[in-house]
Amino acid sequence: MFTLVPSHFFDPATAREALCEVAQLKDGDAVEYIEIPQYDAVLVYAQDGDSAVSDRPEIFRILTRLPDCPEYNKILCSQLDGRLYLAVAQGKNLLLANSFPARDFTTAEYYIFLALNSLQLNPEISTVCFLTPLDAEDEMSLYRYFKAVEKL
């Protein structure tokens, strides 16, 4: 669970409330935050209260690697633990950072295309980048719609 809050609206004292507006938290969940200065935002996220490990969420890795995408339309994905993590930017302007339930690659593709359609981005002139491995069949499926497919 996570949300991005513009830096100028973020107050550490209300981080839990900000996350509660978009996600259902358990009483034991620890709420943490990380500044994302390149997008002038703060990533607020929950850690499972039962977890002794303090891992940063996958969307943090996506957001920090998004500038590595080679094109002006930056599309970066990761499919991990039955979820698609997706961030989209135009130049230095972040348009979307979200995750979706996607137990299979067809579902992940659906969410990628849904997001691009809602942002009015044309996949035919865009490169999609992945942080997680793609098998050959999934990569070929993406090549039918995108100008290029890259692994970061």
Q: Please tell me the distance from the alpha carbon of residue 39 to that of residue 93, in angstroms, as a whole number.
A: 7
Model confidence over 125-145: pLDDT tens digits? 999 999 999 999 999 999 999
List Cβ neighbours of 79 (8 Å cut-off, separation of 6 or more): 85, 102, 105, 108, 130, 132
114: how many CB neighbours lie within 10 A of its CB?
12
89: how many CB neighbours lie within 10 A of its CB?
21
pTM, full prediction: 0.90
Model confidence over 58-67: pLDDT tens digits? 999 999 999 9
* 94 and 41 Cβ atoms separated by less than 8 Å: yes
β-strand partners of 127 = 74, 148
